[in-house]
Structure 1
């Protein structure tokens, strides 16, 4: 049976990342590492190993801990442990005291970390599509102004921001679905943008998809569309769009409220 991260495990990881004030790059890297761990477990099943090598919650916290180092968002091991403890005991003490229990948890984390990095092949580097989304959209804005670099005011154009927000949400869900290691980050970013443009019925800034894919994805139209279909098989695009539109509505209401004060 294939080992896949459960919805509860993904929620746990994202909740811990939120409490640790991690940016998207860190929690997404942590989640990709957890997917890689699950792939390893799947590959071992049927060879006298039917259980996780590391308890799920400890593994999730360790993946975030390794991701914090890889993305240069370091957090102390003690902070990681306290966040995990708080999630497990929401009505208890906010923090563990530095005592024998904390020392025992630190030792457990340290030993489990050695196991996890070996499972990951000592490779905790992850290339996410998010940076490419920003880069491609910046280039597209430049392209539309016929070679004149867009100013800051042009970059915050509502249309570009809406495309970016939806593409970002789609990319987040692609990370949760374990798709990041199945394609190059640049092609996946282009597919997320293509999905966003088509969801909003916006034209491509090119003569056709082949030209657009060649310029922005450095790939073929068929490959970008294949990745688009892969994402759409695993991600609810309509739900992402609803989330984007709801966020825009809340933002607009806050701005109206602020202006009326």
Structure 2
């Protein structure tokens, strides 16, 4: 198990390297920096800093929720001792990102994750400057060993199944099915050369497609959506919410539209439920994003209720 004193950030919010005091009489202006509210926000920021594709970030969110569910379920069993939450938010975030980059064939070295993460968590101030993390160094080796150990634990929790279904896998087909209801050219049948020649966008790069993909990733930040609905249902819900928000309504009614687009792969009742949650998330309702009024992550919902 990873020890808490080896984690990316100590409880007091400072690194174990003392910051040097400014010897200049002129106050220095601290460079701008970001503060992530929670593990999901930290992962999103790190993902963009590392230029990860959206699928890598989405997969990392699923790993994070699998870990949370594992810890929660262990406390619900009466035949075994509950397992303590042994990974802090930042260690868990880096571990999930590291594994997801491998699963989505976008590998990043641990050094590429640890060094910027350390800089984010130890920003300079007007009076002190935390030295950057040196590689190699004892501190870096300790942090790297912590992430490697956490990866082994998370792999066991995931039962070594790294390639989990994502809503992003189904959104292109749903959009193709939805838009092909309208008579027109079958773009799916065109060759890549023809699409490039005529500058025809892939369905994921269209006005609706980009919104659906972004919303799907946001949905996977939310424990209840990512855990209680399958990838197909989430994908269908994202497309439905984006269409509605864009003023595009199914002429045959919602039930018939779901049947025509997804067949029997998605239950209408599940679709209605997930659309309610996704629409609230789309409108920025924080409580569905798992946050309390103070901005901190709330507890995992009790599945027994």
Q: Distance in 2 between matches of 1:207 and 1:49?
A: 50
| Residue 165 of structure 2 corresponds to residue 127 of structure 1 | yes
Quote the offset at 1:106 in angstroms: 2.1
In structure 2, how many angstroms separate the alpha carbons of the residues matched to 1:227 and 1:116?
Answer: 28
Cα separation, 2, equivalents of 1:116 and 1:50? 13
Distance 2:122 2:53 in 1: 24
Unaligned 5+ runs, structure 1: 1-5, 241-261
Stretch of structure 1 that moved more, 130-139 or 87-96: 87-96
Match of 1:145 among 183, 205, 219: 183
Cα distance in 2 between the residues matched to 1:30 and 1:125: 11
CA distance in 1, matches of 2:141, 2:201: 49
CA deviation after TM superposition for structure 1 residue 93, in Å: 4.3
In the alignment, which residue of structure 2 is the partner of 1:177?
A: 222
Contact 2:215 2:238 in 1 (8 A): yes
SS of 2:186's partner is coil
Q: Which residue of 2 aligns with 1:22?
A: 52
Q: Aligned to 2:101, what secondary structure does the other structure show?
A: helix
Q: CA deviation at 1:29?
A: 0.7
Q: Decide whether the 8 Å contact of 1:128 with 1:180 is kept in 2.
A: no
Of 112-121 and 38-47, the range deviating more from structure 2: 38-47
Aligned partners of 2:131 and 2:86: how far apart in 1?
A: 29
Q: Is the 8 A contact 2:219 2:281 kept in 1?
A: no
Cα offsets for 1:138-195 (capped at 9, x unmatched): 333333125x3148679669xx944334433432221111222322222221111111
1:222–1:29: structure 2 CA closer, same or farther, 3 Å change rule?
same
Identify the match of residue 61 of structure 1 among 78, 83, 94: 94
Which range moved further: 193-202 or 41-50? 41-50
Contact residue 27 and residue 67 of structure 1 kept, 8 A: yes
Residue 18 of structure 2 corresponds to none
* RMSD of aligned residue pairs (Cα, Å): 3.0
Distance 1:165 1:182, change over 3 A: same
Deviations 1:86-116 (A, max 9, x none): 2212334454321222222222222222122
Q: Computing the radius of gyration over CA atoms, which structure comes out larger, 1 or 2?
A: 2
Post-superposition, which runs of at least 4 consecutive aligned residues in structure 1 deviate over 6 A?
none
Worse-superposed segment, 220-229 or 194-203:
220-229
**CA separation in 1, counterparts of 2:282 and 2:143?**
40
Higher RCO, 1 vs 2 (CA within 8 Å, ≥6 residues apart): 2
Give the superposition deviation at 1:214.
Answer: 2.2
**Given that residues 58 and 220 in structure 2 are in contact (C-alpha distance below 8 angstroms), is that contact kept between their aligned partners in structure 1?**
yes
Higher helix share: 1
Secondary structure at the residue paired with 2:283?
A: helix
Rounded Cα–Cα distance in structure 2 between residues aligned with 1:155 and 1:214: 28
> 1:230/1:238 Cα in 2 relative to 1: closer, same or farther (>3 Å)?
closer
Distance 1:189 1:117, change over 3 A: same
- Rounded to whole Å, the distance in 2 between the matches of 1:231 and 1:44 is 28
Greater CA drift, 53-62 or 194-203? 194-203
Q: Please, which runs of 5 or more residues in structure 2 have no aligned partner? A: 1-35, 125-129, 286-305
Task: Encode CA deviations 1:222-250: one digit per residue, 9 max, x unaligned.
Answer: 34223323434xx433349xxxxxxxxxx
Give 1:69 shift: 0.5
- Asked if residue 214 in structure 1 is aligned to residue 251 in structure 2, the reply is no
TM-superposed CA distance for 1:63, in Å, is 0.6
Aligned length: 230
TM-score normalized by the length of structure 2 = 0.65
Q: 2:68 aligns with which of 34, 38, 45?
A: 38
- Give the equivalent residue in structure 2 for 1:164: 209
Secondary structure at 1:236 match in 2:
helix
1:245 maps to what in 2?
A: none
